[in-house]
Chain A
Amino acid sequence: MDLLGQVGDTLTPQDPADRLSNLRIELLPIDLIVQWRRCSKMADFLASYFEYHFESRVVAAQVLSTGLNELIENLAKFSADKQRPVSVEISHFGEVITFETQNEARRAEVAALRARLTRMATTDPEELFLEQLEHTASRDRAASGLGLINLKKDYGARLSAEIRAVPDDPERFHVTLQLALEVDAVERG
């Protein structure tokens, strides 16, 4: 699939050969729509699976779960076809842990994602946090986004997306979203 664009922070490429640990899960977005609590249960499960890589397990589980929950919720909300499998993959490289999600989204959702990631990459996280807090309180709790902004603000998380064309469907795009966290930042709490 042709790469149409990359948006967000610049991530340092990780060599798969350096990967200490990896877990990939494929699921149907409709299962999350039908029971929304599955988003947080899945996030908690994945976070607890990886907490053993950290000295501060309790803090790590909380931080990882926050990021994963938001990515998983976004997979459910922004997948064009709720019956088409999407994936969540977590890889631990020693100094860095990455979360990667893959799904197909519609044009409008991809445009919104581009705008959001560009803003997140170019705006002070504190300012972004206050802005989003106000927006969430006054308008739309469903579109929170606070978890990821929090991870950027408190743990220096980096977030990037690759957008590729879907063959034979100009209205849909394949989105690979990656979040990278420095393990030391998580350990420092």
Chain B
Amino acid sequence: MLLKISIAKTRAEVLRCQYFIAETYNRRYQIMFSEDSHDLDARIEPYPQKYLMGTVDGLIVCAFALYTRDTYVERYGGITDDEVQAELVASGVVDRYVNATRREITKLVVREGWESFGLARHIFHAALSRGFCEGDWDADGRPVLLLVCATVSILDRFFAPKGPVHSHYLAPFPRYPIHSEYRSEHDPMQSRLIIPEVDIPPEIRELTLPAVFELPARSPKAEG
């Protein structure tokens, strides 16, 4: 069984990713989406601009997305330029990220019943490939810094020391009612920075998309 991960390019592919993500987020977290108005207090989230989709025999089984501008972390997380700059200085790469644009990886979704195939890790790594997260989507040639926000348990699951990708803690993410279904006192949310040149190993950063991965040959669980 083969998993194909590719960038959603046509309008139809983008729509399929949006429906897949929105349906899953609504079922799990009672969240709605909007392209032209959003309000975290009313559980309405903004859409990301770019999508990555994982398919098996044409069926979308996982998706990941990217805010190429107006990142969630900056809009709602209250991250300041100084906090980001301090991490670049500490990593000794401030010269390489002058006038950098900030993007954010977000909305990792795996289809119900397909959780035990390792799809999340595959699409997470594909999302960090240069061709996706550092693509020149805004045609301005600026270097790219990545932001991410999630619960600590999710961050710990994907980033070093458990995984090969590193990240830099920026700040706790403020509390919003919209996150009530998955954050808690014991599992708070954080904002982190990923500096591609420093934090993403070359084998992930240089991964070419579309990418194909062999999956265990067994049936997914029936959807609930």
Contact = CB atoms under 8 A, between A and B. Distances in A.
Interface of A: 30, 32-37, 76-77, 82, 139-142, 144
A34 B31 CA distance: 10
Nearest to B25: A33
A68 to B, nearest CB: 17
Interface of B: 18-19, 22-23, 26-27, 30, 32-37, 39, 41-44, 177
A33 B36 contact: no
B30 A36 contact: no
Contacts of B23: 30, 33-34, 82
A82 B35 contact: no
Contact of B34 (A35, A77, A139): A35
Nearest to B15: A34
B18 A142 contact: no
Contacts of A139: 177
A144 B177 CA distance: 13
Contacts of B27: 82
Given A140-B177, A141-B41, A76 B19 contact: no
A34 B42 contact: no
16 contacts: A30-B19, A33-B26, A34-B18, A34-B33, A36-B32, A36-B37, A37-B34, A77-B30, A82-B23, A82-B26, A82-B27, A139-B177, A140-B177, A141-B42, A142-B42, A144-B42
Contacts of B34: 35-37
Contact of A142 (B19, B22, B37, B43): B43
Contacts of B177: 139-142
A76 B42 contact: no
A30 B23 CA distance: 7
Counting from the closest, the 7 A-B pairs by CB-CB distance are A36-B32, A36-B34, A142-B43, A34-B22, A141-B41, A141-B42, A33-B26
A53 B32 CA distance: 33
Kindly name the residue among B22, B35, B37 whose own CB sees the greatest number of chain A CB atoms within 10 A.
B22
Nearest to B43: A142
B19 A34 contact: yes
